[in-house]
């Protein structure tokens, strides 16, 4: 982190709608707070597996609540997440592994596209309810995010590359090491130690810990 600035890492997976909320809010605060924001694409499936966590919707009452909660959060955070009851089936039937490897490959080769690319994956899955697991859909997302056909194709070929697989595993393991059991996992490196904040509704607390003022989810 630059002198006097706090390094804040966001471990996220595009299959997680709450990660999208945290992502957008941190993007808004990046120029308001004295932070260096670092995006850390990781694999939610891996975190769940390593920590024995289960998707919240596996508990029906929790699923019911999550649906209402997400509608309210989307409105409050001004992020176009559109969630319906059949999304739970959709999530269970979708693996984000290929998408997260693709995002990792782009992060390793053309990091300037990481932010628009990640946003575009969320838009496609959570706003337009379209598939993000098939190669042709992944290429469409990349095109939408401004990547050339050549760069997109190269990143797609890299998803089976051991260096990309290992990088994604490392980032995921790092999140778990910091105490993550789900996504988003926000880690602030402050006062010589890492502080983990889980979820998109703890950013106010993050501000308080690093000595920054919370101005709501859409600071003007």
Two structure tokens written together for 30? 């990046």
189 vs 197: CA distance, rounded Å: 11
Task: Return all residues near 163 (Cβ < 8 A) that are at least 6 apart.
Answer: 108
Q: Is 182's pLDDT higher than 70?
A: yes
Which CATH number describes the domain made up of 6-210? Answer: 3.40.30.10
The predicted-structure confidence for 127-180, as pLDDT tens digits, reads as follows 999 999 999 999 999 999 999 999 999 999 999 999 999 999 999 999 999 999
Q: Is the pTM of this model over 0.85?
A: yes
Q: What is the pLDDT of residues 118-127, one digit of tens each?
A: 999 999 999 9
User: What confidence tens digit (pLDDT) does each residue in 184-197 have?
Assistant: 999 999 999 999 99
* Strands 193-198 and 185-190, sheet pairing: antiparallel
Q: Is the pLDDT of residue 2 over 80?
A: no
**Can you say how many angstroms the Cα of residue 5 is from the centroid of all Cα atoms in its chain?**
22
Domain boundaries, the chain: 6-210
In the annotation, is 16 catalytic? yes
**Coil/strand/helix, residue 41:** strand
Active-site choice (16, 96, 118, 200)? 16
Per-chain mean pLDDT for the chain = 95
* 8 A C-beta contact, residue 41 and residue 107: yes
Q: What's the pLDDT score for residue 65?
A: 93
């Amino acid at each position: 982190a630059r002198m006097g600035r706090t390094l804040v890492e966001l471990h996220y997976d595009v299959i997680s709608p709450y990660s999208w909320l945290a992502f957008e809010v941190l993007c808004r605060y990046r120029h308001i707070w004295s932070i260096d924001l670092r995006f850390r694409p990781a694999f939610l499936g891996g975190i769940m597996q390593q920590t024995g966590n289960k998707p919240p919707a596996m508990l029906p009452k929790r699923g019911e609540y999550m649906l209402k909660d997400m509608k309210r959060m989307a409105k409050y955070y001004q992020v176009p997440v559109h969630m319906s009851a059949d999304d739970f089936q959709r999530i269970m039937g979708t693996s984000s592994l290929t998408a997260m490897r693709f995002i990792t490959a782009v992060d390793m080769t053309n990091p300037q596209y990481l932010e628009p690319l990640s946003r575009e994956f969320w838009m496609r899955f959570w706003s337009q309810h379209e598939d993000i697991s098939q190669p042709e859909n992944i290429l469409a997302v990349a095109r939408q995010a401004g990547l050339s056909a050549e760069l997109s194709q190269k990143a797609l070929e890299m998803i089976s590359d051991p260096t990309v697989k290992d990088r994604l595993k490392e980032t995921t393991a790092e999140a778990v090491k910091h105490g993550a059991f789900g996504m988003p996992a926000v880690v602030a490196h402050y006062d010589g130690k890492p502080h983990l904040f889980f979820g998109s509704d703890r950013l106010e607390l993050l501000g308080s810990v690093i000595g920054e003022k919370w101005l709501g989810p859409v600071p003007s």
